[in-house]
Amino acid sequence: MLWCNPSKQRCMGCEKERPGSTEHQLGVGEEGRAELGLGVPGLFSGFWRSRGYLPHFETRDKMQSITFRLADSLPQSKLAEMKREMALLPEDQQSLERRKQIDQWLDAGMGCCALRHPTVAQVVQDTLLRFDGERYKLLAWCVMPNHVHVLIHPAANLGKVVQSWKSYTGRWALAHNDELGLGVHGKSFWMREYWDRYIRDKKHYEAVVDYIHNNPVKTGLCKAAQHWRWSSKWRKA
């Protein structure tokens, strides 16, 4: 089963490794974005950092909602269009509107959508599960055609955790690009940056879980959340 039509654009990184291999799955720093929060307070202090154009809130006492996407999922023309539109809004509204616009474009299925291939989706899902209970507690996830949603309670540096997912799965995907006909071009599979939000409270947690599980339904990929094979909802059904 394929999820969306492949394009002639491209995405990031890989070498020849077996699905499920622990090698290269953890260990290089990265970047992201935070705005939400919950968890057991007082154990670790949080701090903001930025190694790109997005700020990230690093903490281990908050659950984190993370979204990372394929490198070609947002064409430069769309990003330029968004920048012009955001410039017309009050500064305090720009961040929220930018995120809404990006979510809409991602759900439209832009780019090569390499994650549409069941084998690639399975590798990504297995990689998320590999360190559950060790580097983080995996609470919810969903692998979409061109992006991935994950909710975790981290026990290690968030940037390194996300980079480990992207490094291993990216190298694997590029190594199997021709074999699987993924339509990936260039040397990048994943976009360098990612979005992260810390969970504020129980209500926010429930809203995020609901959003993650219902993203495939919202975009017309399935009729019910539990029917989407590459999500925590399907595994719990």
pLDDT of residue 60: 60
Bridge partners of 48, per DSSP, are: 57
Measure CA 38 to chain center. 20
Q: Which domains does the chain have, with CATH numbers?
A: 47-73+109-236 (3.30.70.1290)
pLDDT in tens, 72-89: 987 767 777 777 877 888
Choose between 24 and 55: higher pLDDT: 55
**Helix 158-175, helix 118-130: angle, nearest 10:** 150
The average confidence (pLDDT) of the chain is: 77
pLDDT of residue 190: 97
pLDDT of residue 32: 31
> Per-residue pLDDT averaged across 11-17, rounded?
35
Read off the tokens for 143. 């692998």
- pLDDT band with cut points at 50, 70 and 90 for residue 35: very low
pLDDT in tens, 178-213: 999 999 998 999 998 898 988 999 999 999 999 999
- pLDDT band with cut points at 50, 70 and 90 for residue 42: very low
Percent of the chain predicted with pLDDT > 90: 53
Percent of the chain predicted with pLDDT > 70: 73
Read off the tokens for 146. 């061109």
Distance (Å, rounded) from C-alpha 118 to C-alpha 1? 7
Residue 216 confidence (pLDDT) above 70: yes
